Structure 1
Amino acid sequence: MADTGAVKSEDTPFEGGPMDGRVLPVLVGITGNPPKTYRIPVPDAAGGPPTVLVYRRVPRGHSRRLGLPRGWKYEFDPEGETGRRPRWPWSKPDTGASRKPGDTEE
């Protein structure tokens, strides 16, 4: 059978921050889950660069028998780390303050 190309979304609640209490349709990926982070750019009234609100996906609840997530919600991340990298066991911890532009890793 051919894929119809339909885009699926899931109504997902937001908690904390300016979006507290709102429910938005969020596109789900091929696994059926929404993305781990949801970034919302908010334009600056003075015409400056937009402020980016960052929300992290957390389980809404867990099933009794298997402990599987029963859905997802987004919680506000006031730190808003947008440049997170995957944590591989062989990766060195990033100490951004000690490195200078142009330094190479050895």
Structure 2
Amino acid sequence: MTETEAVKSQDTPFEGGPMDGRVLPVLVGATGHPPKTYRIPVPDPDGGPPTVLVYRRVPRGHSRRLGLIQGWKYEFAPGDTSGGRLRWPWSRPQGAPPGKPDDANG
């Protein structure tokens, strides 16, 4: 593996929740941005299913002149239940009954 093919990471701060104040190296994608959500599984001390901490990517700041984003940080999102799935425009909202939307009218 050459130097240009190496996996790149970016030190990203975390705010809120149990990770508040920590800075972790987060892998960046092909665009140079870290993922939109960062999930941290925390094992249950009693042997049950792990608790998953969810953090959402937000801009760290903007430049004065052009308003460009100057890096990213993660904020704790305790109520996030999105599951990290892609949401396509043609996808049905979660909990919607199967079938076409006009089936109820006719």
Q: TM-score range by the shorter chain?
A: 0.7 to 0.9
Give the TM-score normalised by structure 2: 0.81
Mark the CA change 1:95 to 1:34 in structure 2 (over 3 Å): closer, same or farther: closer
Normalized against structure 1, the TM-score is what? 0.81
Calculate percent identity across the aligned residue pairs.
72
Amino acid at match of 1:10: Q
For residues 5-46 of structure 1, what are the alpha-carbon distances to aligned partners after superposition, in whole Å with 9 as ceiling and x for unaligned?
A: 201100000000000000000000011110000000000001
- Tell me by how many angstroms 1:105 deviates: 2.2
Which one has the bigger helix percentage?
2
> Structure 2: where are the runs of 5+ without partners?
101-106
Moved over 3 A (4+): none
Cα distance change, pair 87–32 in 1 and its aligned pair in 2 (3 A): same
| The one of 82, 99, 102 aligned to 1:105 | 99
The residue identity in structure 2 corresponding to 1:76 is: F
RMSD over aligned CA atoms reads 1.9
How many residues align? The count is 98
